[in-house]
Amino acid sequence: MNFDFSADQKSLREQARKFLGEHASSARVRRILEGAAPYDAELWRGMGEMGWLGTAIPESYGGAGFGYLELCVLAEELGRSLAPTPFSSTIYLAGEALLLAGTDAQKKRWLPRITQGAAIGCFAMAEGPHVATPANLTARVESGHLTGTKMPVLDGDVADVAVVLAADGGAGRAGLFLVNLSGPGVTRTPVATVDPTRSHARIVFQRAPAEPLGGAGQGWALNERVLNRAAVLVAFEQLGGAQASLEMAREYALGRFAFGRQIGSFQAIKHKLADMYVAVELARSNAYYGAWALSTDAPELPVAAAAARVAACEAYYQAAKENIQIHGGMGFTWEFDCHLHYRRAKLTGLMLGSARRWKDLLVARLEAGAA
């Protein structure tokens, strides 16, 4: 049995934690929260210099060619630190879509720039406050040109390239398309969200040139494959955030006195913290399984990814929510960091579709496996 990260991967974790402790401190995160900059460009450059952007990208496209286990390790640390960078959009979504379905030319055009930090990617699926399905997509591509509105698009305001889900000619058919966002027919406006440490945009496409990504008619299935891979990686970010929230709550419960005692000595608080710990460990084990499936391209990946996402969404939200509660009134202030995780928990819980939808997917995949 070898179901854990290796010693090398654990030392990468330590190295990442140290780097992010210095370069993605709470003060740095708050600069993005409170300032006009959409992301921390200096941190992003630093991450590029550390080689993180090419972690799972093959060397032939300029990457470091490590692997997905290493990427999972980094994701957990990025989630723990709340690093305000376009890493998830660029690497887990746009990068994975290119790796899965891009032509050699498309990969050569974008992946080396991504690994160098010279291009930011984004993934445009949502079309407003409802679930996007192949049947209700209004963005559409006709003869190589995309028309429609995508909102919210994580990092859409700063990205150079977008992978866009759009209707593809025939009824109910969806496809993924690659759009150069500095090309014609693209209008972007920032959109405020619950988590201002990560920027979002509304993107209006008016006959913007769009290249198909992957074969015709495979769009929705390809979209699901991209989301599965991202679900595992985002689960590690959520896990890092959940662990950080649990640790914050524990620290506070040890240091805060009420009724003449540490509040962490009362069972109402102890049991709440124990429940948070249980949720985090269940999420951790499910995430590790997702990491194994992702790194070995196992047929279990669709089930493992859905389970990892469901467990991580719930653990992070629970830990972030109860962290505020354990901090009492202080947890409700802007000054304390509790709300940063609370915001990020909800953002990561929705950015690939809600846990409600992934639970349905999980059961559908179990049914398919048992049929």
Partner 1 sequence: MDFNDTREEAEFRQEARQWLGRHAEPKSGAFETWQSRYPGREGYDGLERARAFQARKAEAGFAALHWPAEWGGRALPPIYQVIYAQEETKFLVPRGYFEIGLGMCMPTLFAYGTESQKRRYAPSALRGDEVWCQLFSEPGAGSDLAGLRTRAQRDGDDWVINGQKIWTSGAHWADWAILVARSDPKAAKHKGLTFFFLSMKSPGIETRRIKQISGASHFNEVYFTDVRIPDGQRLGAVGAGWGVAITTLMNERLTSGDLRGPDFEEIFGLARSTVLEDGPAITNAAVRERLADLYVKTQGVRLTRFRTMTALSRGETPGPENSIGKLVNAPKAQEIASFAMDLLDMGGVVMDKDVAPLRAAFQESLLTSPGGRIAAGTDEILRNIIAERVLGLPQDVRVDRDLPFDELPTGTR
271 binds partner 1 (CB under 8 A): yes
267-296 and 219-255 helices, crossing angle to 10°: 150
Measured from the CB atom, the residue of 194 and 350 that comes closer to partner 1 is: 350
Residue listed under structure tokens 């662990």 = 243
- Residue 307 near residue 362, CB atoms below 8 Å: yes
149 binds partner 1 (CB under 8 A): no
Q: Which of 103, 193, 285, 354 lies at the binding interface for partner 1 (CB under 8 A)?
A: 285
275 binds partner 1 (CB under 8 A): yes
Q: Which of 10, 18, 45, 261 lies at the binding interface for partner 1 (CB under 8 A)?
A: 261
| Least distance CB 227 / partner 1 (angstroms) | 16
What are the residues facing 151 on neighbouring strands? 127
Q: Which of 140, 150, 188, 284 lies at the binding interface for partner 1 (CB under 8 A)?
A: 284
Q: Which of 170, 267, 297, 329 lies at the binding interface for partner 1 (CB under 8 A)?
A: 267
Residues 289-318 that bind partner 1 (CB under 8 A): 289, 291-292, 295-296, 306-307, 310-311, 314
Residue listed under structure tokens 């990892």 = 308
| Least distance CB 268 / partner 1 (angstroms) | 11
| Least distance CB 157 / partner 1 (angstroms) | 34
Rounded CA-CA distance 138/71 in Å is: 34
Measured from the CB atom, the residue of 49 and 275 that comes closer to partner 1 is: 275
- Residue 89 near residue 154, CB atoms below 8 Å: yes
CA distances from 138 to 59, 101, 148, 155, 175 (A): 38, 23, 6, 21, 12
HEC assignment per residue over 21-45 = HHHCCHHHHHHHHHCCCCCCHHHHH
- Residue 303 near residue 362, CB atoms below 8 Å: yes
Q: Which of 92, 288, 316, 317 lies at the binding interface for partner 1 (CB under 8 A)?
A: 288
Measured from the CB atom, the residue of 77 and 157 that comes closer to partner 1 is: 77
Given phi > 0 = left and psi -120 to 50 = alpha, else beta, which region is 217? left
| Least distance CB 23 / partner 1 (angstroms) | 28
CA distances from 92 to 110, 138, 225, 233 (A): 14, 25, 11, 7
Measured from the CB atom, the residue of 110 and 289 that comes closer to partner 1 is: 289
282 binds partner 1 (CB under 8 A): yes
Residues 94-113 that bind partner 1 (CB under 8 A): none
4 binds partner 1 (CB under 8 A): yes
| Distant-in-sequence, close-in-space partners of 146: CB < 8 Å, separation ≥ 6 | 139, 140, 164, 166, 177, 179, 185, 205, 207, 208, 209, 210
5 binds partner 1 (CB under 8 A): yes
Which region among 21-29, 227-235, 283-291, 331-339 touches partner 1 (by CB under 8 A)? 283-291
Rounded CA-CA distance 355/363 in Å is: 12
How many CB atoms lie under 10 A from the CB of residue 297?
9
Residue listed under structure tokens 């080396």 = 112
Measured from the CB atom, the residue of 194 and 266 that comes closer to partner 1 is: 266
Residues 193-252 that bind partner 1 (CB under 8 A): 250
What are the backbone dihedrals phi and psi of residue 123, each rounded to the nearest 5 degrees, phi first?
Answer: -130, 115
184-214 burial, b at 16+ Cβ within 10 Å, e below that, comes to eebebeebebebbbbbbbbbbbeebbbbbbb
Measured from the CB atom, the residue of 69 and 125 that comes closer to partner 1 is: 69
Measured from the CB atom, the residue of 199 and 318 that comes closer to partner 1 is: 318
Binding site for partner 1 (CB under 8 A): 1-6, 69, 250, 253-254, 261-262, 264-265, 267, 269-271, 273-275, 277-278, 281-286, 288-289, 291-292, 295-296, 306-307, 310-311, 314, 356, 358-360, 362-363, 366-367, 370
